[in-house]
Amino acid sequence: MTKAKGKVYFVGAGPGDEGLITVKWQRAIEKADVILYDRLLNPKLLEAAPPHCELMYCGKTPYTKGIRQEIINELLVSKALAGHNVVRLKGGDPAVFGRVGEEAESLKEKDIPFEIIPGVTSSIAASMYAGVPVTHRDFGRSFAMVTGHERTKQEIDWTGLVQSVDTVAFYMGVANLPNICENLISHGKSKNTPVLVIQWGTYGRQETVEGTLANIVEMVSEKSLQNPAITLVGDIILLRKRLQWFEKKPLYGQQFLVARTGTTKSSMAENLYELGGDVIEFPKWITTKVKAKKSQLLSFLLYDRMLFTSPESVHGFLDLLTEYAIDFRQISAKLYVVSRKSKKVLQQRGLIAALKSEMTEDGTLLIIGDRKKEHLDPNYGDEDYFQSIEKYVDERFLEILPRMLEENAVDTVLFSNQHSVDMLMDYGDKAGFDVSGMLTQATIGVIGKSTGRKLKDFGFTPDMMPHEPSVEQLVALIVNRNVFRL
C-alpha cells in the first residue's frame, strides 16, 4: 500500500515580533511533523511546534551561503512524499522576496498539495515600528518594495521609481546603499530626500538611522548597521518625529535572557517584552504524563496539607484527577504553593491556595512536584512526595541558542529561583555556549536571596534583587535602572 503524501505549508512568520502571527499560522505549526526555517524569523516562534516535530535550519547569513536552494526544494519534496506535514517557515511574508514561487513549483511537479499562508511583510511592519506609515494622503499615495541586493541594481527601473512612486522600501540593501542613493539621485531624486534605515525591525534590538540621500551612507557606516535591514526613502519619513511609539517604550534597546524552569508562559519575560525589551528564554521545557492508579490518587485526598512546587505540578495533578473522574471537591487538604504563578494557576482551576511562607506545621503533608524526589529542593525536607508530571528540557533548542546569541548581545540575565541558575549553567554548557563569559559582561538580576546565594556558588554576585521576592518588583527595578541610565 502506497503511503499517502503529506502536505506543505509555506508560512510567513512576520518580521520578528512574536506577536505578529496569525491564527492560521499557529495551527499550521502546531500540526507540523517537519519545519524548515530561515535565519531571520524569531526562534521563539518554533516553541509552538509539537515535541515530535523535526526542526531543520535552512538559514543564510550575509557571510555564508547556507543550504543551497535546490537542496531546500528536494527536502520539501522528500519529506512530503514520506507522508509528513511540512512547514516552510519564512521571515516576513513568503511571497515578498521569499522564493515561494520556486519552492512551490518543485512541489507542483510531484503533485504534492500545498498552501501559502501570508505573513506580515517586513518593510511595512519595520516602518510602522519606526514611526513611519508607508502611505499617507499628504506625503505618499504610492509605495513600492524593491530588492536591494547588489546583483539586481541594473535591473531596477530607477526612472519609474523616482517619477511614479512616493515611498520606496529596499530590502537587504545596506551593502548596496551607495549604489541605491547614487541611482536615485542620478535619476532625478533630490539629495535632500529623507532616508531611514531600520535594522532588525520590530525586535527590541531594532536600530534606526535617519538621514538624506546625500548623507545616509556615511551615517549608516558610522553606526555599523548591517543586514537584515529595510531602507525607506521618501518624504513620508518626516512624520516619524510625531508618530514614534515603539522606540519610546521604557526597555527599548535592552536585551534580556530569562533563565527558564517551566513550560508555562514566563510572566517576567512577558512583562519585559511588553515594555519593549528583546527577550530570550532558555532552556525550553516540555512535559509528559506520569502513570498513576485511581486508588493512589484517592489516598492523596486524605492528607491535611498539599504543597505544589510549580504550575506544571498543579496541572499534572488536577489533570490526573479529571482523567479518573475524581471530583476536585473531594480535596479537603489545605493547599499551598511555592510561587504566585502556581497560586494563580490553581485559582484558574477553581481552587484557592496560600503561599508556602504561610503554611502551618499541623497535619500530614504531601508535596506534589514535577521532578524526581532526589532532585527536589532539600529545603522541603523528607516529606511524602508525588511527581504529578514529567518535565524535561527540549534539546532541539540547544543548537538554536548559540545562533540566537550570535545575533543578540545580552545586556541582562535574570533568574527566578535556584533551579533556574543550575539549568542555565548546565544546559548552556550542553548548547556549547559560554554562560560564564556572558554573566561576566551582563547585569544579573535575581528575585530572592536564595537565588542570589546559588549564583554565588558559581562565582557571580547579582546586581539587582528586589526587597520583596516578586516578578513585579524585579521588573520595576529593571525599568528604574534603565530610566536612570537614560
Per-residue pLDDT tens digits for 359-384: 988 899 999 999 888 877 777 777 89
pLDDT at residue 486 is higher than 50: no
Q: What pLDDT digit, counting tens, does each position of 312-322 carry?
A: 999 999 999 99
Return d(Cα 9, Cα 113) in angstroms, integer: 9
Find the catalytic residue in 17, 44, 93, 172.
172
Query: Is 430 one of the catalytic residues?
Result: no
Q: What value does the mean pLDDT take over residues 245-252?
A: 96
Q: Quick one: which of 311, 396, 286, 272 has its CA closest to 18?
A: 272
Q: Name residues whose C-beta falls within 8 Å of residue 478's C-beta, 6 or more positions apart in sequence.
A: 251, 254, 272, 412, 445, 464
Return d(Cα 470, Cα 427) in angstroms, integer: 25
The CA radius of gyration of the chain, in Å to the nearest whole number, is 26
Q: What value does the mean pLDDT take over residues 453-481?
A: 93
Q: What is the CATH number of domain 288-390?
A: 3.40.50.10090
Q: What pLDDT digit, counting tens, does each position of 160-174 carry?
A: 999 999 999 999 989
Among all chains, which residue has been given the C-alpha cell 517619477? Answer: 163
Q: Domain 255-284+395-485 is of which CATH architecture? A: 3-Layer(aba) Sandwich (3.40)
Find the catalytic residue in 7, 17, 33, 38.
38
Q: For 7-120, give the CATH class.
A: alpha beta
What are the distances in angstroms from CA 131 to CA 192, 248, 252?
20, 10, 14
pLDDT at residue 469 is higher than 80: yes
pLDDT at residue 103 is higher than 60: yes
Percent of the chain with pLDDT over 70: 96
Find the catalytic residue in 60, 344, 356, 373.
60
Q: So what's the pLDDT on residue 154?
A: 63
Q: So what's the pLDDT on residue 378?
A: 74
Residue 203 and residue 278 in contact, taking contact as beta carbons nearer than 8 Å: yes
Query: Is 60 one of the catalytic residues?
Result: yes
Angle at 23 between CA 36 and CA 288, to 5 degrees: 65
Query: Is 172 one of the catalytic residues?
Result: yes
Residue 187 and residue 158 in contact, taking contact as beta carbons nearer than 8 Å: yes
Q: So what's the pLDDT on residue 24?
A: 95
Q: Name residues whose C-beta falls within 8 Å of residue 384's C-beta, 6 or more positions apart in sequence.
A: 303, 364, 365, 366, 367
Among all chains, which residue has been given the C-alpha cell 510602522? Answer: 128
Q: What pLDDT digit, counting tens, does each position of 196-244 carry?
A: 999 999 999 999 999 999 999 999 999 999 999 999 999 999 999 999 9
Q: So what's the pLDDT on residue 428?
A: 94
Q: Say which CATH topology domain 124-247 has.
A: 3.30.950
pLDDT at residue 62 is higher than 80: no
Q: Do 124-247 and 255-284+395-485 show the same overall fold? A: no
pLDDT band at residue 304 using 50, 70 and 90 as cut-offs: very high
Residue 311 has, within 13 A of its CA and on its CB side, a CA count of 18
Q: Where are the domains of the chain?
A: 7-120, 124-247, 255-284+395-485, 288-390
